[in-house]
Amino acid sequence: MSSPRSISTVDRISALPDSVICHILSFLPTKQSAATSILSKRWNPLWHSVFTLDFDDHGFADFATFRYFVFCVMLARDPTLPLRSFRLKCGASQGCDPQDINRFVRAAVQRGTQNFIMETDLVKTDREFLTELGSTVSTIFNSRNLVVLKLKTLLVTDLPQINFPLLKTLHLKKVYILRDFNKLIEGCPILEELEITTSFLFRFSKDGIGEFKHSNLVRVNISKFGPQNFPFAWICNAKILRLELQRSEDQVHAFHNLTHMELIFTSNWRTKWKWLLEMLKNCPKLQNLTLHKLYGHGIDEDDWKEPEIIPNCLSSQLRTCSLIYYKGMKCELQFAEYVLKNANLLRTMTISASPGDLTLKHQMLMDLSLCPRGSIASPQSGRYGGILALRHGPPSATLVDGELANEYEIQAEAKESST
């Protein structure tokens, strides 16, 4: 019997160049990165040369201990060493002091950080606490080196003149800007990604709205924000758009570059179908469409009216369409039928039904299988229909190149109809 293969005791990681080890450490929170200093004499100084700092007060006994750790790290670090990324998450530990947060942020900005991420993790938003972070706000918005800026839970009572010549990514969550939000958007001339979530208190000055447009925007995500207040003309060059809609604005802007659009309807209004069709008409390059909660309480089932003119994106561009939380209402079925009939290049149609009776779900899928079908991207498929399947759990049906995909455990034959 052969002896078992001996296990190598060579420390291959320690044999790596310092630059590679520092790169590996940059993916760790700073607390864990600092802990590697006890491994050996060689490892002891390496974490000081990492280009990223990631501080989180969760797991510290109290904020005083956390504050001591942050200051020790900042003082031990070579001040001439670049700081590419700085992340600060605090509010979980007892005794969190906004003045200390101001000092942390100022130290990071003075070192020329390019990626700045800050989260104040408060259980209940404390206006007085947020107001005392005024120095932090001023420091952040006067930094010209930022490429990525992500803020969570911050109160901005007044904005300075903004100039972010390098900023490409801006994420704002629970950030309340009480006035002149225009300054922030217009101060980011090369912005590529914009995300705004749960921000109801934005105020815009009327001067300049509709004149400024971001030409570099690729991805936009606006959630839990009243679109009637947001100047959508600023983001009309986006290629990927996700909107969580409470209600529509009167004017529908043209999105000439948009290829992906996701709309989540969180409330209802009488002209929603009209607004949706107008939106499709103004997105000539749209290839992927996802709609959540298309039907909701308070909407007349007969509100749908098929337009005489088919949007160009339907007839010549649309590849995928997904209807999420589908209830099988008459207006929803009419819209699904309209898409299937007119989307000549459609490859995949996904229907995800709302929870409910399995018999009703089966009937919904049967109704969908009988919808007339326009020309399809794959000419080898000569019929629409196939196998319908149902199961407990998240219900959905997927149409791929004219066929309903067999995704379920309980199957039922569907009628076939030639195209």
Using one digit for the tens of pLDDT, what is the confidence trace for 9-27?
677 777 788 889 888 888 9
Share of the chain residues as helix, strand and coil, in percent rounded to the nearest 5 = 25, 25, 50
Angle at alpha carbon of residue 39, lines to 35 and 40, rounded to 5°: 130
- Ranges of the chain whose pLDDT falls below 50: 1, 208-210, 226-227, 300-301, 377-397, 399-419
Look at residue 252 in the predicted model and tell me its pLDDT: 80
Look at residue 30 in the predicted model and tell me its pLDDT: 92
Residue type, 99: Q
CB burial of residue 378 (10 Å; 0-12, 13-18, 19+): exposed
Side-chain-side CA neighbours of residue 42 (13 Å): 10
State the Cα torsion 15-20-26-32 to the nearest 10°: 0
Q: Is 331 helix (H, G, I), strand (E, B) or coil?
A: helix
Dump pLDDT digits (tens) for 364-413.
777 777 766 665 544 433 333 333 233 333 444 454 444 444 333 323 33
Question: Token digits for 200?
Answer: 């109801």
Looking at the DSSP bridge assignments, the partners of residue 169 are 148, 193
Can you tell me the distance from the alpha carbon of 327 to that of 319, in angstroms, rounded to the nearest whole number? Answer: 23
Question: Token digits for 36?
Answer: 């590697």
In degrees and rounded to multiples of 5, residue 358 shows phi and psi of: -65, -35
Look at residue 259 in the predicted model and tell me its pLDDT: 96
Looking at 212-347, which runs of residues are DSSP E strands? 219-223, 240-245, 260-265, 288-292, 320-326
Q: Is 183 helix (H, G, I), strand (E, B) or coil?
A: helix
Sequence spans of domains, the chain: 222-377+386-396+404-418
pTM (2 d.p.):
0.81
Asked if 54 contacts 62 with a C-beta cutoff of 8 angstroms, the reply is no
CB burial of residue 76 (10 Å; 0-12, 13-18, 19+): exposed
Look at residue 199 in the predicted model and tell me its pLDDT: 63
